[in-house]
Structure 1
């Protein structure tokens, strides 16, 4: 039997279940994750789509194009606004799950990687096995909006 974990949004309207282990995890310091979370970074657990099941509630979606020209779509509770999932145009069929939305223990998987340290908050100090200024797939075709660059 595969490992099962459940989670949901802050108000409890949306509930989900994951099966098995995530195939990738990371702490991400990119500006998109900073604005998505309203914090210094996001903690992400990536699963194949068939490993994630929304068990109750409805989700709103917000889609935009990254500076690398790829789609980024967040899915969030329309009642409380909690972002639960996202998909990246780079990884077809893969769903990112906001690690803090899992029921306790929220951080049940290993995180050994951090990405986009170039925009890391100066007060954040992590001791992870891998640390990358961007990612291998980072290939900007346009600049981010001035507000994301602090202009």
Structure 2
């Protein structure tokens, strides 16, 4: 599936080819902290099928709970997370679903690091909702 996306301020844009079957939700504490939410959703893409325009994303390396060293890329102006990848093998990018324009069409297929899931985040259907506020 061809997708487009970018950061919140528009400083960075991208086009990519993603596999809709490779969408996941991660409940790890790093993803909670990095996203400012109970979990982070992402989709895998081959790095050679992602094209960035505008400014170059900034990045830093974080050792995850798994022990893997993960590169976290983001916009230097607005701080929007764009992707994560392995420090040693950057052939696959995990594009952040929130940065993708077509995110509504990319339904998660799996959840990982559920042991860190916030108990209330598993089902929010009972919480009163408003279409707009």
Q: TM-score range by the shorter chain?
A: 0.7 to 0.9
User: Which 5+ residue runs of structure 2 have no aligned equivalent?
Assistant: 124-133
Which residue of 2 is the match for residue 28 of structure 1?
26
User: Which 5+ residue runs of structure 1 have no aligned equivalent?
Assistant: 127-151
Q: C-alpha distance in 2, partners of 1:36/1:91?
A: 21
Residues 95 and 42 (structure 1), Cα distance of their counterparts in 2 relative to 1, 3 Å cut: same
Contact persistence 2:4–2:100 (CA under 8 A): yes
Which residue of 1 is the match for residue 11 of structure 2?
13
Identify which of structures 1 and 2 has the higher relative contact order when contacts are C-alpha pairs closer than 8 Å and 6+ apart. Answer: 2
Moved over 4 A (4+): 89-92
User: With structure 1 as the length reference, what TM-score do the two structures score?
Assistant: 0.73
2:64 to 59, 66, 76: 66
1:117 to 75, 97, 114: 114
Residues 23 and 71 (structure 1), Cα distance of their counterparts in 2 relative to 1, 3 Å cut: farther
The CA deviation at 1:68 is 3.4
Number of aligned residue pairs: give it: 123
Higher helix share: 2
